[in-house]
Amino acid sequence: MVMLENQRILITGATGSVGGPVAKALAQTNSVVAIARFGDDAARADLEAHGIHCTKVDFEACDYSEVDGDFDYALNFAVAKTNNFERDLIANAESLGFLMQRCSAARAFLHCSSTAVYEPNGHHRFVESDPLGDNHRAFGFMPTYSISKIAAETVAGFAARAYGVPTTIARLSVPYGDDFGWPHFQLAMMRAGNPIPVHTDAPSEYNPIHIDDIIHQIPALLAAATSPATVVNWAGDDVVSIEQWCRIIADVCGLTAKFAPTTTTIASVACDTTRRAAITGPCTVNWRDGMRRLAAAAQHES
């Protein structure tokens, strides 16, 4: 992170599985302020042990008066998933506008969105200009998620123009690491002997991206920020199916990967990563190596 040294950085979502490692990595060479509700004292203490200053903020209240000073960069990884549309639209979208207004002096703002904003379209490789739609509610899974993410992108785009904040809207695919992510959850299902839900329109394809690459690519994504906002698929280099990565994990752990085809699970969301590669260069963690690392780490923990 050569370009991110001795900077003052604001980050939301630092108690999450993605925002947490990002905040800790940035704190090694920068002054990092994390804002959240901090209902979990242990999570707050863990961040503070890494030199991160924590400030309590209620995103639904859209009140950032307790946040002191200006920031060189701001990163938004927070997401509310209460499944209540009124609450989630305020916390994810309206609150984002107030946050970007508060950070209007920043050199760049990174808003972490999701590939869940794309209208389902089989095995199409989504590009950033493709139609948006709800790919969650139809499957009964986090019904407010896609709509909230689309609303948040709209607010981020408005704020980038209205407040002149150079912004990157990064649509994150399937993030994972040695101890978290969708593949990690699926490993727990395999250990319990449960089949993994996959869509009947097989295979179920995505672009998993390792936390090491997420962290590595942040400086370049911030450098690419513009007003109007830059929009980019934040996804791994390779299109990979759930079936493929579960079999690799199962093989390392001596398990059997069983699948349950259904129409009531999320369909494929595979991405074209041409724009991201032009900004960040290639990923450094091959998906096969990443999945084996996850499996090996789980074996060690057990």
Residue 101 lies in domain = 8-177+208-238+271-283
- pLDDT confidence of 142, banded at 50, 70, 90? confident
Q: Who contacts 183 (Cβ-Cβ below 8 Å, separation ≥6)?
A: 174, 176, 208, 245, 246, 249, 291, 294
Residue 297 lies in a domain: no
Q: What is the pLDDT of residues 46-87, one digit of tens each?
A: 999 999 999 999 999 999 999 999 999 999 999 999 999 999
Residue 264 lies in a domain: no
Mean pLDDT of all residues belonging to the chain: 95
Residue 64 lies in a domain: yes
Full-model pTM: 0.96
Number of structural domains (the chain) is: 1
The per-residue pLDDT for 302 is 58
Residue 253 lies in a domain: no
Residue 38 lies in a domain: yes
pLDDT-above-70 percentage for the chain: 98
Cα gap 95→21, rounded to integer Å = 23
Over range 125-154, report the average pLDDT: 91
Residue 262 lies in a domain: no
Helices 287-301 and 242-253 sit at what angle, rounded to 10 degrees? 40
Is it the case that residue 301 has pLDDT exceeding 80? no
Residue 69 lies in a domain: yes
Which residues are paired to 171 by β-bridges? Answer: 113, 233
Q: What is the pLDDT of residues 107-120, one digit of tens each?
A: 999 999 999 999 99
Over range 160-174, report the average pLDDT: 98
CATH code of the domain covering residue 68: 3.40.50.720
Over range 114-143, report the average pLDDT: 91
Is it the case that residue 25 has pLDDT exceeding 50? yes
The dihedral through the CA atoms of 21, 22, 25, 28 has a sign that is: negative
- pLDDT confidence of 88, banded at 50, 70, 90? very high
Over range 220-240, report the average pLDDT: 98
Is it the case that residue 2 has pLDDT exceeding 70? no
Residue 15 lies in a domain: yes
Over range 32-41, report the average pLDDT: 95
pLDDT-above-90 percentage for the chain: 94
Q: What is the pLDDT of residues 238-273, one digit of tens each?
A: 999 999 999 999 999 999 999 999 998 999 999 999
Torsion angles phi and psi, residue 300, rounded to 5:
-65, -40
Q: What count of residues does the chain have? A: 302
- pLDDT confidence of 1, banded at 50, 70, 90? very low
